[in-house]
Amino acid sequence: DAVVPLLNPKARIPLCGLIASYNAHEAPSGPDRLPLLQRTLLTKRVRIQGFIVFDDYGDRQPEFLSAMAPWVRDGKVKFREDVVDGLE
């Protein structure tokens, strides 16, 4: 709700990952925002393009793992979680 009205004309939105809805069996409850979203995307000529990491970059996984594994092992890459309710 906060971001869509602020999109620039001809904005590009990468779309990757739907993990939050993997186990969903029905549409989320609440107001139907789709008509407003569609109108904004259309009038601002926004482009949304999906990508799937393993389909688009799967051939680079060995390269990634050989670089990342030592960094994780040596503590150079650490997991951090920052949960925010809404947008800052």
Q: Which two tokens stand for residue 45?
A: 């000529």
pLDDT digits (tens, 9 = 90+) for 50-80: 988 888 889 999 999 999 999 999 999 987 7
User: How much is the pLDDT for 32?
Assistant: 87
User: How much is the pLDDT for 88?
Assistant: 60
Whole-number average pLDDT of the chain? 89
pLDDT digits (tens, 9 = 90+) for 38-53: 999 999 999 999 988 8
The pTM (predicted TM-score) of the whole model is: 0.59
Question: What is the chain written as a DSSP string?
Answer: --SGGGPPTT-EEEE---GGGTT--SPPSS---HHHHHHHHHHTT-EEEE--HHHHHGGGHHHHHHHHHHHHHTTSS-------SS--
User: How much is the pLDDT for 38?
Assistant: 93
Non-local (6+) Cβ contacts of 14 within 8 A are 49, 50, 51
